Amino acid sequence: MARVTVEDCIDKVTNRFELVMVAAQRARKIGSGAPLTIERDNDKNPVVALREIAGENVEVEDLKEELIRSHQRMVAYEEEDEQIDLMDGEEEWGTIAGNQNKAEGMYSDEEVADDAEPSLEDMAGGTPTE
């Protein structure tokens, strides 16, 4: 196979965009030192990748998986029993906040209306004692 064309590869990968992405992934692997499955014949990595795809010397599905993995930013874990570790002091803070809610607060027994205006006696500090 002296020359490789897109038509030679389109039988193996039907979508042209997908073909370009898969060939680029294989060319990157070749560039990083992956072994070749065909003779190089003084060709550059993208041409060698296309020749390998056309000759069915590489698994296209494996290249697709590697391509997807290389673009993932977060690896999904399938752990069902996920336990969240608390930060230092978070447990103590939770118990303090829980105890404060239970203790008598400033308005523990009386209801406070949001729209109620304070009376003059409240503003003066309560009722005068004689």
The pLDDT of residue 97 is 76
| Rounded-to-integer distance, Cα 38 and Cα 19, Å | 19
- CATH 3.40.50.40, domain 6-71, yes or no: no
Q: Which residues of the chain have pLDDT under 70?
A: 1-2, 75-82, 86, 100-116, 126-130
> How many angstroms separate the Cα of 4 from the Cα of each of 42, 46, 68, 82?
14, 11, 26, 50
How many other CB atoms sit within 10 Å of the CB of residue 51? 24
Q: Identify the pLDDT of residue 10.
A: 86
pLDDT at res. 100 = 67
What's the pLDDT at 5? 73
The whole-number pLDDT of residue 112 equals 57
- Rounded Cα–Cα distance for residues 127 and 130 (Å): 10
